Structure 1
Amino acid sequence: MRFPTPPLSEYALNTAVVVLTLAVLQYTGWLSADPAGLNPAFLVVVAVTFPAFSYLIAVVGANVWPSAE
């Protein structure tokens, strides 16, 4: 089994972009009926789970396509 070793800064940057995008969408009301309302619990859950799932996808990709690195 192969494990990818991308830099941690890449995961941090991707996570920050995703969380900030979701926060803006929540604040403007695109994701909820209440504009100007943020759900901090949702943003924290996304910030914790996004890097884990993106790493799992990278592991699957590294093992399905061995030359994907």
Structure 2
Amino acid sequence: MRVPNPSLSEYAINTAVVVLTLAVLQYTGWLSDDPAGLDPAFLIAVAVMFPAFSYLIALVVANVRSNGE
């Protein structure tokens, strides 16, 4: 089993971009009927889960590529 060597700064930047994008979409009302309203619990959940799922996807991809070689 191969384990990917993630760059922590890359995960932090990607997470920040995703959370900020979702915050802007929430604030403008594109994601809900209530414009100018943010859901901090949702944004915190995304900020915690996004790096975890990104790492799991990278883990699967590293092992699929290693088995194909």
Moved >2 Å (runs of 4+): none
TM-score, normalization by structure 2? 0.94
Question: SS where residue 65 of structure 1 aligns?
Answer: helix
Unaligned runs of 5+ in 1: none
Is it true that 1:32 corresponds to 2:32 in the alignment? Answer: yes
CA shift, 1:6, in A, is: 1.8
Which residue does the alignment assign to 2:50?
Answer: 50
Count of matched residue positions in the alignment of Structure 1 and Structure 2: 67
TM-score, normalization by structure 1? 0.94
| Paired amino acid for 2:50 | F
Unaligned runs of 5+ in 2: none
**How far apart in 1 are the matches of 2:65 and 2:21?**
30
Report the RMSD for the aligned CA atoms in angstroms.
1.1
Identity of counterpart residues, as a percentage? 80
